[in-house]
Amino acid sequence: MVRYAEPGAAEWVESGGGPLIAVPETVLPFWAGADGDETASDYDRACEVDGYVGLLPVGDSVALVLGDEPASTTYLPDRGVFVRWSAAESEEQLLAEVPAALDAAVWGPEVAWNVPGPVLLFDAAWPGTDSLRTDHVWIALDPGRYAVRAAHVRPGPETWLGLVQLRPLAHG
């Protein structure tokens, strides 16, 4: 597989061509990926997500699908945002544009995501039980409800990126 995001300041996840998925750690064994005898695999369900983000039931929880394009993706915990690399000369350039991108973003509709705790981001084609043997990022999320919204931003003439922001929602 060609790697667009070389190792650097952030840990990047890439896919073989399909969506990435953030699955709660507690339900990883229930994500079958492209495996399975069913008519539609979990991976097929993830591919049906229309737009930048979608939610899919997994076990007794819900996973977040990062749709649209199979862009290299990282998570910036200090900003609560997934950054999806569409175009940039370097990782340094892309990450330097994130603050401007967040300020300029025209966000799509929000979805509410209930998270039982940490999640693992990986290629949706992989079964959850095999995800630790491939590109993945472990994301330490506190249990709770999050507002998820997405945008595609061009903060510079040569820099395009996708943003998927997680914001904790108040209890109640």
Cα 5 to Cα 88: distance, rounded to the nearest angstrom = 10
Integer angstrom CA distances of residue 4 from 82, 89, 96, 169: 16, 10, 17, 34
pLDDT at position 4: 42
Q: What is the identity of the amino acid at 172?
A: G
CA 115-5-88 angle, to 5 degrees, is: 105
Sequence-ordered alpha helix ranges (H) in the chain: 42-47, 91-96, 98-104
Q: Which of 8, 5, 159 is nearest to 88 (CA)?
A: 159
Q: How far is CA 165 from CA 16, 68, 78, 102, 158, in A?
A: 24, 15, 11, 9, 22
What pLDDT, on a 0 to 100 scale, did the predictor assign at position 146?
Answer: 97
pLDDT at site 68? 81
DSSP code for 16: S
The backbone torsions φ and ψ at residue 40, rounded to the nearest 5 degrees and listed phi first, read -120, 120
Q: What is the largest CA-CA distance in the chain?
A: 46
This prediction's pTM: 0.90
Q: Say if CB 50 and CB 159 are below 8 A apart.
A: no
Tens-binned pLDDT, residue by residue, of the chain (172 aa): 334 444 567 889 998 888 999 999 999 999 999 986 666 799 999 999 988 999 999 999 999 999 888 899 999 999 999 999 999 999 999 999 999 999 999 999 999 999 999 999 999 999 998 888 888 999 999 999 999 999 999 988 889 999 999 999 986 5
